[in-house]
Structure 1
Amino acid sequence: MQALRTTASVALAASVLLTATGCTSGSSGTGDAPAAPKLTTTTPAATGALDNVNWNLPMGEPTTLDPARVGDYSPSTVESNLCDPLLRLKADYSVAPGLASSWDQPDATTLVLNLRSGVKFWDGRTMTPQDVVASLQRQRDPRTQSVNITLFASVKSIAATGAHQVTVRFTKPDVLFLKALANGFGAVGEASYVKKAGASYGTAKGGLMCTGPFELASWKPGESITVRRNDAYWDTALKPKAKQVTFKFVTDGSTLAGALLSGQIDGSYEISSAAAKTLRSSSAGTVYYGPSAQTNYLTATSPDSPLADPKIVQALSLVLDRDALVKNVYDGAAQKLKTFVPPFVWQKAEGSSVYSKGYDALPAVPAVDVDKAKKLLGQATSKKRTLSVAIPAGDQQSLQTLTFLQAGAKKIGLKVVIKQLQPTQMSGLFYDASLRKGLDATMVMGYVEIPEALSYAQLLTASDSLFNWTKYHNDKVTALLGEAQSTLDATKRADLFTRAQALYTKDLPLVPIASPYERMFLNKRISGAPASFAYINMPWAAYLGATGGATS
């Protein structure tokens, strides 16, 4: 989610061509929407060095870079290049070794992490098992306000068990803990530095102390964040070609397009569909489309919201013309969704065929049916006929989506009022109930950041979840997802998940909309960055470099 991170496409991705170099180039000479964009996980490898890259964060300035508290696009885009996790997410959404060179599960309730030797923090201090233990343990402390605290539900102990080893013991098997080590949850900070920084860790004042390919050089609130190359980086194969990357905070889509065209900003993930159309017709650079685990949907913000009524949810779903939406709002670069977990999440997972079969068996995305929608609205328990819906200010895609919904809702007697919130407030409402007061619903630009479908499903269905705003509860769904989390057999776990998915797709109060493809722009002087949504949890900037020899 814009904040529903963990803490997620075979059926989705099968309808498009995945290639190593496919893209829509600025040399195409056309601004028309691509009929079927070619998707790529990578861009051509960079060959030269760079003194500086100016990169944009279109969702605005981060509020923190503390890995324990990172739960949104902007902070994750920066933090993923600073703080290495124990496991590393790859561009195809598979998982590889990170600070842990390997791991073992000698029994169902034991996880042994074998750490790399010789890894150093930016200050030259060697990473120890104690740093790993401290980084994980501080997230159990409510004072840390970690977005990952629910991942400790089955953890019995975490301890250093060797010179390069940490062992985690569980009260019951738990597949989510291991997979979550590929995001901020698994990031390792220097224990003594973190303790000294206290509550200011991860802020402009408190800084960070990690092991990643870049280190935090400066943070000028309201202006920019600059990171510089870590020349002592442990992964010599991924030593950055860019000496530094400067992050800007341009949130207006048209302003960003102008800055990218002029070269003031070199690149950006999450460019809007309108900006992509403008940039495709220029010779300034290239727009790349990548497979994505992003999910867009409309959800109620409280149990008292009219959208918490299943009949109103179904009625709204029936007046939303998703074909027109994908064509006109997403510029053709999206897939309609039957539910809220996009299939790219399990594309590389064991049991992928089971997940795909379960997804295919879900009811088809409904066609527009105004008469049926009117009947459903008449059967609704809630009699409120006005919906106040939040979106980020300046987000044209969400605004256009709600405008489509607004027009359809009007036909059945529902009024949709659009509330545009500033980025900090919009991000904060996912964690702070007080910021949801006066709102009935919000547009969610979500994402599933680890390759495990049940991680995101539990966020919206578990009774004690921070994001279960409607107090949704289905005993069978809870039981199936709980059993899946404790099941180490991947095929059986996939079966349990798809059975739960079939149930919550019927009664969970949200309106699935689409899964947008990743849209990234690189100007013609740079290349190398991964093009898939996996960038959100991998050191993507370390791949950046010049398209030809050394340049500044």
Structure 2
Amino acid sequence: MQAPRTTASAALATCVLLTATACTSGSAGTSAAPAAPKLTTTTPVATGALDNVNWNLPMGEPTTLDPARVGDYSPSTVESNLCDPLLRLKADYSVGPGLASSWDQPDSTTLVLNLREGARFWNGHTMTADDVVASLERQRDPATQSVNITLFASVRSIEATGTHQVTVRFSKPDVLFLKSLANGFGAVSEASYVKKAGTSYGTAKGGLMCTGPFKLTSWKPGESITVRRNDAYWDASLEPKAKQVTFKFVTDSSTLAGALLSGQIDGSYEISSAAARTLRSSSAGTVYYGPSAQTNYLTATSPSSPLADPKIVQALSLVLDRDALIKNVYDGAAQKLKTFIPPFVWQKNEASSVYAKGYEALPAVPDADVDRAGKLVAEATTKRRSLSVAIPAGDQQSLQVLTFLQAGAKKIGISIVIKQLQPTQMAGLFYDPSLRKGLDATMVMGYVEIPEALSYAQLLTASDSLFNWTKYHNDKVTALLGEAQATVDPAKRAGLFTQAQALYTKDLPLVPIASPYERMFLNKRLSGAPASFAYINMPWAAYLGATGGAIS
């Protein structure tokens, strides 16, 4: 859900970086909407081999590569190339076969996964149905602390019903389980190796044992992670061209830009807007912009937060000049959002037209209107007029957004105090209520991991969700989303979801800000990597190669 940015450079005051127009958030006049960059889901197919690629993780070093516990940018960027899931996400955000070559649903509460024969772990051992069952059951055990444990709510049993077949039975229909098999939830590890590694599985000490196109060979804490090509990879159509990929942890935006310009680092996803400005005029490589399932919004962290009051939410939304914000903070590489789920999530869905119609019917993103915002503040039930908002320390983009909002909020009598938290504290507040004490809100840089909008909506609206910090509850929303999850027919499910979306868009205490496009830089010697946000859960490095012949 969340991925804190951890750029270590000193944060700059927004008005130094923004134009005069941008610094007048909430004023009557607005800047013209910025021209959106050209988006692409892929880069030109690579034709040559590579000895080594140096790739950066701008959010910093992962804390784990255990698929059961991976749920953030850095670990997912690495793990997606190591541990194959049962289903595979594609660059256009559609889903196809992975370690499950096919699947059947003989009835609405039974899922039969037909496993691919010939898939082997890096140690040469054959992947079996028992490994699949063990990988799933391990996540159902609370001791594992899996980020996916809620996906088992409707699961009755998971059984090996053949050497290469696994059958999952549900107490009620559940469409999310199948689609979620395309991320770390569906990744398969060797059962015997996991048992031996115990709680160190997925760490620098415990290592991994998976079937992916690359295998983990070295993890030097604080320095780098190295993966090498799996020469016995089961998918002959996706044999990696790169012999080795070394992941670096450069979190400072300007330092990263310099390393990319010099060729010390060959590429990176999630480069900052500032780095993109520097790099796109360089002959060192190319900045690619891709469609994205990322979402940025401001959300309350407790029921007592002033932001839990719908009037305050509406007022803050009305002091945001989003056109100026996107132009000056996101460098034009983002789109305005009516709600917190970007359209890219459902564009390849079987019922995309139903989702599109529902999204179109939502109220338009409001223009800045300080007078109306001030009236809403006067009508608000809460009388507290200050908000303490958390962002990751050094995250320039979030700081700019909040400073932008801070200026507008001041005009309607609301004080925004920005709290910059260290990376571990910022990441921890999403799971540990004690770390949210003293905070009223946080900037979320989230993303929808699978092509099913329902999955993210429930994270914020379900009464028992780990991320429903305001104890939001709407009986109708709960009923509609619950019914949607149990509805197999795509069009009916989409219809139920859009009804719920229309309701929670009115009363859920969060302020949608924007959906950033994916920003990736590739050195001129490289090509092939997907440019869309789908990289987060697909073996993107296996597509990476040289633009010409073999390059060392």
Contact 2:154 2:174 in 1 (8 A): yes
Q: Report the equivalent of 2:38.
A: 38
Deviation, structure 1 residue 34: 7.5
| Structure 2: unaligned runs, 5 residues or longer | 5-32
Alignment of 1:123-142 (within 5 A): 123-142=123-142
Q: Report the equivalent of 1:199.
A: 199
Secondary structure at the counterpart of residue 130 of structure 2 = helix
TM-score between the two structures when normalised by the length of structure 1 = 0.94
Q: Report the equivalent of 1:265.
A: 265
Deviation, structure 1 residue 309: 1.2
Q: Report the equivalent of 1:373.
A: 373
Matched, 1:386 2:394: no
* Whole-Å separation in 1 of the counterparts to 2:362 and 2:530: 32
Matched, 1:525 2:497: no
Secondary structure at the counterpart of residue 367 of structure 1 = coil
One-letter identity of the residue aligned with 2:58:
P
* Whole-Å separation in 2 of the counterparts to 1:163 and 1:342: 40
- 1:348-394 alpha-carbon deviations (Å, 9 max, x no partner): 10111110000000000011111111111112222222211111222
Secondary structure at the counterpart of residue 434 of structure 1 = helix
* Whole-Å separation in 2 of the counterparts to 1:35 and 1:316: 25
Alignment of 1:66-145 (within 5 A): 66-145=66-145
* Whole-Å separation in 1 of the counterparts to 2:52 and 2:385: 52
* Whole-Å separation in 1 of the counterparts to 2:156 and 2:36: 49
Secondary structure at the counterpart of residue 137 of structure 2 = helix
Secondary structure at the counterpart of residue 121 of structure 1 = coil
Contact 2:34 2:326 in 1 (8 A): no
Deviation, structure 1 residue 120: 0.6
Q: Report the equivalent of 2:170.
A: 170
* Whole-Å separation in 1 of the counterparts to 2:506 and 2:549: 56
One-letter identity of the residue aligned with 1:296:
N
One-letter identity of the residue aligned with 1:260:
L
TM-score between the two structures when normalised by the length of structure 2 = 0.94
Q: Report the equivalent of 1:331.
A: 331
One-letter identity of the residue aligned with 1:422:
Q
* Whole-Å separation in 1 of the counterparts to 2:358 and 2:267: 38
One-letter identity of the residue aligned with 1:451:
P
- 1:484-519 alpha-carbon deviations (Å, 9 max, x no partner): 000000000000000000000000000001111100
Deviation, structure 1 residue 247: 0.8
Contact 1:57 1:250 in 2 (8 A): yes
- 1:460-492 alpha-carbon deviations (Å, 9 max, x no partner): 000000110111000000000000000000000
Secondary structure at the counterpart of residue 536 of structure 2 = helix
One-letter identity of the residue aligned with 1:314:
Q
Matched, 1:551 2:536: no
Contact 2:313 2:509 in 1 (8 A): yes
Contact 1:109 1:171 in 2 (8 A): yes
Secondary structure at the counterpart of residue 74 of structure 2 = helix
- 1:284-334 alpha-carbon deviations (Å, 9 max, x no partner): 100000011111100011111111111111110010110100111111111
Alignment of 1:387-466 (within 5 A): 387-466=387-466
Q: Report the equivalent of 1:510.
A: 510
Secondary structure at the counterpart of residue 96 of structure 2 = strand
Secondary structure at the counterpart of residue 222 of structure 1 = coil
Deviation, structure 1 residue 422: 2.2
Contact 2:298 2:441 in 1 (8 A): yes
| Structure 1: unaligned runs, 5 residues or longer | 5-32
* Whole-Å separation in 2 of the counterparts to 1:73 and 1:196: 28
* Whole-Å separation in 2 of the counterparts to 1:265 and 1:126: 36
In the alignment of these two chains, the number of paired residues is 524
Greater mean deviation of Cα atoms: 339-348 or 378-387: 378-387
Deviation, structure 1 residue 341: 0.6
* Whole-Å separation in 1 of the counterparts to 2:259 and 2:437: 36
One-letter identity of the residue aligned with 2:532:
S
One-letter identity of the residue aligned with 1:258:
G
Contact 1:308 1:509 in 2 (8 A): yes
Greater mean deviation of Cα atoms: 41-50 or 378-387: 378-387
Secondary structure at the counterpart of residue 68 of structure 2 = coil
Secondary structure at the counterpart of residue 39 of structure 1 = coil
Seen in structure 2, the aligned counterparts of structure 1 residues 406 and 34 have a Cα distance that, compared at 3 Å, is closer
Q: Report the equivalent of 2:18.
A: none
* Whole-Å separation in 1 of the counterparts to 2:335 and 2:187: 32
**Please, what is the CA RMSD of the aligned residues?**
1.1
Secondary structure at the counterpart of residue 541 of structure 1 = helix
Matched, 1:231 2:231: yes
Q: Report the equivalent of 1:478.
A: 478
One-letter identity of the residue aligned with 1:153:
A
* Whole-Å separation in 2 of the counterparts to 1:52 and 1:424: 31
Deviation, structure 1 residue 427: 1.7
Q: Report the equivalent of 2:16.
A: none
Deviation, structure 1 residue 424: 2.3
One-letter identity of the residue aligned with 1:120:
R
Contact 1:391 1:399 in 2 (8 A): yes
- 1:58-101 alpha-carbon deviations (Å, 9 max, x no partner): 11111111111111111100100000000000000000100000
Contact 2:461 2:472 in 1 (8 A): yes
- 1:95-125 alpha-carbon deviations (Å, 9 max, x no partner): 0100000000000000000001111101111
Q: Report the equivalent of 2:17.
A: none
Seen in structure 2, the aligned counterparts of structure 1 residues 345 and 102 have a Cα distance that, compared at 3 Å, is same
Contact 2:36 2:334 in 1 (8 A): no
* Whole-Å separation in 2 of the counterparts to 1:75 and 1:438: 29
* Whole-Å separation in 2 of the counterparts to 1:220 and 1:539: 22
Q: Report the equivalent of 2:214.
A: 214
Q: Report the equivalent of 2:7.
A: none
Deviation, structure 1 residue 423: 2.2
Contact 1:390 1:443 in 2 (8 A): yes
Contact 1:59 1:423 in 2 (8 A): no
* Whole-Å separation in 2 of the counterparts to 1:263 and 1:430: 36
One-letter identity of the residue aligned with 2:518:
E
Secondary structure at the counterpart of residue 372 of structure 2 = helix
* Whole-Å separation in 1 of the counterparts to 2:3 and 2:402: 20
* Whole-Å separation in 1 of the counterparts to 2:82 and 2:382: 48
Secondary structure at the counterpart of residue 68 of structure 1 = helix
Contact 1:253 1:394 in 2 (8 A): no
* Whole-Å separation in 1 of the counterparts to 2:516 and 2:408: 21
Deviation, structure 1 residue 36: 2.6
Deviation, structure 1 residue 35: 2.3
Secondary structure at the counterpart of residue 460 of structure 1 = helix
* Whole-Å separation in 2 of the counterparts to 1:263 and 1:416: 41
* Whole-Å separation in 2 of the counterparts to 1:186 and 1:465: 21
* Whole-Å separation in 2 of the counterparts to 1:150 and 1:491: 25
Contact 2:34 2:323 in 1 (8 A): no
* Whole-Å separation in 2 of the counterparts to 1:296 and 1:538: 22
One-letter identity of the residue aligned with 2:66:
D
Secondary structure at the counterpart of residue 40 of structure 1 = coil
Contact 1:251 1:394 in 2 (8 A): no
Q: Report the equivalent of 2:291.
A: 291
